[in-house]
Chain A
Amino acid sequence: MKKIVILLCSLLCTACMAPEKIIEMQGISTIIGFDFLDDNTFKGTISLLQFDRKEENTSVTLSAEGTTSKQIRQKLEEQTSHDITSGQLRTILFNKNMAATVGISSFLDTMQRDSSISSLIFLAITDNAEETINNTNYEEYPEMGSYIYQLLDKHEKKEMLVNSNLHDFITTLYEIGIDPTLPIINNANGVAPSIDGVALFKEDKIVGSISLINTLYIKLFTNNKAFLGDITVEIATEELEKRGMAELNLSKSDSYKITLHPIKYKGNIEIKNPEFVHLNATISVSTLEFQPSTSVKNKDSLKKMEQLIGEALNKEFRYILEELKNLNTDPIGIGRKIRSIRKYSHLTEGDLRQNYSALKIKPNIQVEIKRTGLVD
């Protein structure tokens, strides 16, 4: 009796199959891009993988217009014999215009709600998403989605970007006292798309951008194991002479360029009070290149050199901070740090923003030359 009941139940269970998603029936989208037309109409472009035995066409791109992302999806469905799925979606591109005017949080909300979309999906900004996806130069990769994924993945793995995936972006967006950033993808005719700077957000709207190299100043304080990238500092020759480093036998050029390779670093946001903040950082570097070539041998001149480099960096950082303050965006998370102090934990987002533009920030980057390569 019992066995019959169990058998019957099993049969009943197996009769109710879960809805199938057989791999070759799926229109597997790897990248989706949103463009802003006007009057709240958007244009969505996706690249679908095509499984062809002869490996001739590996992908197809489709576009459709609509007012919400799901409506676009519906219209895209009409254009293909496959079910469009986003389980393998790796990248979402947003039009720069759209991100600057409408904001992207409404799109991200649906993305986050959809369990089939990974939270490690990459987000990026581009001038025209449709054109970028339709670009046919994608190195050795089978299609644009894979290429852009690899491009962003490389940068992510090496910690060259501040935040780039959905999870990072949303977490930063929702967090009080810090603003998110996203990579900007540059698309030009005849070449593969490349990363070209980082967009700065205020809330979910783009307010400006900085170059990939300059993100080092942000990464110093937000990520403790990022890849800072090589730093090139330019120091005026007269400055060097002023410091009594004439014995370096400088040649006659008016400026002196040094390229440094950071080995490790430590950044710290020191809150003196809500109006005054120190940004302390120490970077250990090895010198890669002196232009024109020279050698620093004694301890004294090394120290002076370190000071000079530090000053140069601080100067640039100060300039960047000024710009960030003008844009009223805080990718470094100074506000977050302020709020984590018991006295100021009551501050709201609005308070912090107001505070930010009037904030006095003192950058204090110190450089320590650890190694000089094979020669002195």
Chain B
Amino acid sequence: MTKRHNNDNLLGYEKIKSILNESPDLICRKLEVGQEGIHIIFMKNLIKPEILNEYVIKYIEELSVEYLHYTYLMKNIPIDEIKVNLEEQEIISSLLNGFAYLYFLDEKKAFIVNCANPIERSIEKAETESLVYGPKISFTESLTSNVKIIRQNLNDYNLCTDEIKIGERLQKQVRIVYIKDIANHDTLQTLKDRIKQLKMEDIIDSSVLAQCLEDKHYSLLPQFILTELPDRFIYSILNGRIGIFIDGSPVAIIGPANFFSFFESTEDIYLRWSLSTFIRLIRLFAMVGSLFLTAIYVATMTYHFELIPSKLLIIIGQSRSQIPFPPLLEALLLELLIELLREAGARLPSKVGQTMGIVGGIVIGQATVEAGLTSNILIIIVAFSALGAFSAPIYEMGTAVRIARFPIIILAGVWGLNGIIVGICILIVHLLRLTSLNKPYLAPLYPLRMKDLKYFLIRLPHHFYMRRPLVNRPKDSIRLKERLKNITDLDEF
């Protein structure tokens, strides 16, 4: 009878030990109960000793003998998660995840119980994305607590958190978070298919996953929003987007993204509409400025001095005089310098980093101008474009803008304004060709959806937002059914 259940999958201590390469952490606690006893096998550092002691060992020892068999224990052991009918692979990976393996020598049966002691950081303030108003908490490295945060804030039975496992060696749990009656089915299916088709040995972080899921891998532009803010995550999901968590990453992925969504911050919702609209436009303007201003300087200095108004001419001419480099080289040097400062500032501890930025910015800038290596006008322009790139609420977009600036500067240095316009054309075509999860990237501008423009370009008072933006193709686009029934005038919104 016992033989019937005894398949090869059930491992003994010795076998496990050999599979785990004689790991010194592997411990086998032998409980002398019943005839031959029970082996409790676990990894020393991965389990929480209190759980194992209190709810497994103590519990078993306090049981009377008649209950000491596999079936009773499996049903009654006071631990939330147990696994039975095990494969060899799963036993090992569970052990490595902090489970304890209970092996009944009498019956040749086994199950495993969860005693895991995951490393968890307490929930803290968001670091990379900071808000003036609004909730400050951020996601952590623990998937469980991330799902907890979302569930707590979005108490909806339609909120689905589908689980997919990825990775060959480094197995990771991925959660796809969406609201069932809002999120578009096709998009969801595309995303799931893509995740399942991933052929990667290891995916360390969500940013890696996001890169692997992109539609166009060669594009400079990010195709998923990465965020560490739960409120942004929830806002996106409520608008029909789909979120992804990955085990061990404090950054969540949101898709499908479109170009303008990288310029919206949740703060836009918290602030009053007039200010948010203004800020949003400022951000777009800053982005455009950041992309093209240095290039325009290079083009003007190299080819089109005719464009400069008389009053500026002498100031600019004097600042450029005796500079040994052509404008293109001058601009590239200074841009690289700024990038270097930024990079050095990011690597250094935060206190030193700030000093570094100021010292670098002021001292080096001043010194280069004094030495006559660059013109002071260019310093202003480069500083402005650096600022502009940082104003993007999503860090990735800022980096994309910073990188995209260089080809445009080179084009400007080669062909002047014509080169800049050629650059704009390439950019336009690229944006048009780009998709995110098969949804057009430039939406709602193209394909044009007038009703959606208020979501991305500007922000109106909240009563205008009766529907969800159509760009994500939500299943159910009406947000406030009751109100919409009564107020037919607002139907167009």
Interface residues of A, Cβ cutoff 8 Å to B: 13-14, 17-18, 20-24, 26, 28, 30, 49, 51-53, 55, 58, 85, 87-88, 90, 116, 118, 142, 146, 149
CB distance from A55 to the nearest CB of B (A): 7
In chain A, what residue has the closest Cβ to B322?
A53
Q: Are B317 and A87 in contact (CB under 8 A)?
A: no
Q: Which 8 A-B residue pairs are closest in the complex by CB-CB distance?
A: A87-B306, A51-B317, A51-B321, A23-B305, A24-B320, A14-B414, A24-B321, A51-B318
Question: With a CB–CB cut-off of 8 A, which chain B residues contact A49?
Answer: 313-314, 317
Interface string of B289-321 (1 = CB under 8 A from A): 000000000001111111010100110111011
B326 at the binding interface (Cβ < 8 Å): yes
In chain A, what residue has the closest Cβ to B320?
A24
Q: Are B414 and A22 in contact (CB under 8 A)?
A: no
Find A51's partner among B306, B320, B418 (CB 8 Å cutoff).
B320
What is the CA–CA distance of A16 and B463 in the complex, to the nearest angstrom?
56
Interface string of B391-422 (1 = CB under 8 A from A): 00000000000000000001100111010000
Find B414's partner among A18, A28, A52, A146 (CB 8 Å cutoff).
A18
CB distance from B455 to the nearest CB of A (A): 35
B327 at the binding interface (Cβ < 8 Å): yes
Also in contact, A22 and B416, with CB within 8 A (given A52-B321, A88-B313, A90-B310): no
Q: Are B326 and A20 in contact (CB under 8 A)?
A: yes
Question: With a CB–CB cut-off of 8 A, which chain A residues contact B415?
Answer: 17-18
Some 27 contacts from A to B, beta carbons below 8 A apart, are A18-B303, A18-B414, A18-B415, A18-B416, A21-B305, A22-B301, A22-B326, A23-B300, A23-B301, A23-B327, A24-B323, A28-B317, A30-B310, A49-B314, A51-B317, A51-B321, A52-B318, A52-B321, A55-B318, A58-B314, A85-B305, A87-B305, A87-B306, A88-B313, A142-B314, A146-B310, A146-B314
CB distance from B62 to the nearest CB of A (A): 70
CB distance from B97 to the nearest CB of A (A): 44
Question: With a CB–CB cut-off of 8 A, which chain B residues contact A87?
Answer: 305-306
CB distance from A169 to the nearest CB of B (A): 21
Also in contact, A24 and B410, with CB within 8 A (given A87-B305, A87-B306, A88-B306): no
What is the CA–CA distance of A184 and B243 in the complex, to the nearest angstrom?
75
In chain B, what residue has the closest Cβ to A85?
B305
What is the CA–CA distance of A365 and B368 in the complex, to the nearest angstrom?
66
What is the CA–CA distance of A22 and B328 in the complex, to the nearest angstrom?
10
In chain B, what residue has the closest Cβ to A115?
B306
What is the CA–CA distance of A51 and B377 in the complex, to the nearest angstrom?
15
Question: With a CB–CB cut-off of 8 A, which chain A residues contact B327?
Answer: 22-23
* Residues B418-446 near A (CB distance < 8 A): 418
Interface residues of B, Cβ cutoff 8 Å to A: 300-306, 308, 310, 313-314, 316-318, 320-323, 326-327, 372, 410-411, 414-416, 418
Extra pairs beyond A23-B317, A23-B327, A24-B321 (17, CB < 8 Å): A13-B414, A14-B411, A17-B414, A18-B416, A18-B418, A21-B304, A23-B305, A23-B316, A24-B323, A51-B314, A51-B320, A53-B322, A55-B318, A85-B305, A88-B308, A142-B314, A146-B314
Q: Are B318 and A28 in contact (CB under 8 A)?
A: no
CB distance from B299 to the nearest CB of A (A): 10
**A contacts with B: majority SS:** loop
In chain B, what residue has the closest Cβ to A14?
B414
CB distance from A117 to the nearest CB of B (A): 9
Q: Are A23 and B320 in contact (CB under 8 A)?
A: yes
CB distance from A149 to the nearest CB of B (A): 6
Find B318's partner among A21, A53, A118 (CB 8 Å cutoff).
A53
What is the CA–CA distance of A118 and B415 in the complex, to the nearest angstrom?
21
CB distance from A361 to the nearest CB of B (A): 41
What is the CA–CA distance of A58 and B310 in the complex, to the nearest angstrom?
13
CB distance from A246 to the nearest CB of B (A): 57
Question: With a CB–CB cut-off of 8 A, which chain B residues contact A88?
Answer: 305-306, 308, 310, 313
Also in contact, A53 and B321, with CB within 8 A (given A18-B414, A142-B314, A146-B310): yes
CB distance from A154 to the nearest CB of B (A): 13
What is the CA–CA distance of A195 and B306 in the complex, to the nearest angstrom?
27
Q: Are B306 and A116 in contact (CB under 8 A)?
A: yes
In chain A, what residue has the closest Cβ to B317?
A51
Question: With a CB–CB cut-off of 8 A, which chain A residues contact B302?
Answer: 20-23
CB distance from B313 to the nearest CB of A (A): 6
CB distance from B377 to the nearest CB of A (A): 11
Question: With a CB–CB cut-off of 8 A, which chain A residues contact B316?
Answer: 23
In chain A, what residue has the closest Cβ to B218?
A3
Question: With a CB–CB cut-off of 8 A, which chain B residues contact A21?
Answer: 302-305
In chain A, what residue has the closest Cβ to B309?
A88
Question: With a CB–CB cut-off of 8 A, which chain B residues contact A14?
Answer: 410-411, 414
What is the CA–CA distance of A116 and B307 in the complex, to the nearest angstrom?
11
CB distance from A293 to the nearest CB of B (A): 44
Question: With a CB–CB cut-off of 8 A, which chain A residues contact B308?
Answer: 23, 88
What is the CA–CA distance of A24 and B319 in the complex, to the nearest angstrom?
9
In chain B, what residue has the closest Cβ to A89?
B306
What is the CA–CA distance of A24 and B314 in the complex, to the nearest angstrom?
10
Question: With a CB–CB cut-off of 8 A, which chain B residues contact A142?
Answer: 314
In chain A, what residue has the closest Cβ to B411?
A14
What is the CA–CA distance of A301 and B390 in the complex, to the nearest angstrom?
73
CB distance from B44 to the nearest CB of A (A): 53
Question: With a CB–CB cut-off of 8 A, which chain B residues contact A51?
Answer: 314, 317-318, 320-321
CB distance from B323 to the nearest CB of A (A): 7
Question: With a CB–CB cut-off of 8 A, which chain B residues contact A118?
Answer: 306
What is the CA–CA distance of A85 and B307 in the complex, to the nearest angstrom?
13
Q: Which of B304, B305, B321 gathers most chain A CB within 10 Å?
A: B305
Question: With a CB–CB cut-off of 8 A, which chain B residues contact A30?
Answer: 310
In chain B, what residue has the closest Cβ to A87?
B306
What is the CA–CA distance of A142 and B317 in the complex, to the nearest angstrom?
13
In chain A, what residue has the closest Cβ to B301?
A23
What is the CA–CA distance of A180 and B57 in the complex, to the nearest angstrom?
111
What is the CA–CA distance of A85 and B317 in the complex, to the nearest angstrom?
14
CB distance from A7 to the nearest CB of B (A): 12
Q: Are B310 and A149 in contact (CB under 8 A)?
A: yes
What is the CA–CA distance of A277 and B222 in the complex, to the nearest angstrom?
74
Question: With a CB–CB cut-off of 8 A, which chain B residues contact A13?
Answer: 414
CB distance from B363 to the nearest CB of A (A): 21
What is the CA–CA distance of A71 and B95 in the complex, to the nearest angstrom?
93
CB distance from A208 to the nearest CB of B (A): 32
Question: With a CB–CB cut-off of 8 A, which chain B residues contact A26?
Answer: 305
Question: With a CB–CB cut-off of 8 A, which chain A residues contact B411?
Answer: 14
What is the CA–CA distance of A116 and B305 in the complex, to the nearest angstrom?
10
Q: Are A20 and B320 in contact (CB under 8 A)?
A: no
Question: With a CB–CB cut-off of 8 A, which chain A residues contact B305?
Answer: 21, 23, 26, 28, 85, 87-88
What is the CA–CA distance of A23 and B304 in the complex, to the nearest angstrom?
8
Question: With a CB–CB cut-off of 8 A, which chain A residues contact B300?
Answer: 23
Q: Which of A20, A24, A51 gathers most chain B CB within 10 Å?
A: A24
CB distance from B425 to the nearest CB of A (A): 13
What is the CA–CA distance of A55 and B317 in the complex, to the nearest angstrom?
11
What is the CA–CA distance of A55 and B326 in the complex, to the nearest angstrom?
22
In chain B, what residue has the closest Cβ to A26?
B305
What is the CA–CA distance of A20 and B415 in the complex, to the nearest angstrom?
9
Also in contact, A28 and B326, with CB within 8 A (given A14-B410, A17-B414, A52-B318): no
In chain A, what residue has the closest Cβ to B307?
A87
In chain B, what residue has the closest Cβ to A3?
B218
What is the CA–CA distance of A146 and B309 in the complex, to the nearest angstrom?
11
What is the CA–CA distance of A149 and B317 in the complex, to the nearest angstrom?
18
Question: With a CB–CB cut-off of 8 A, which chain A residues contact B306?
Answer: 87-88, 116, 118
Find B317's partner among A20, A24, A90 (CB 8 Å cutoff).
A24
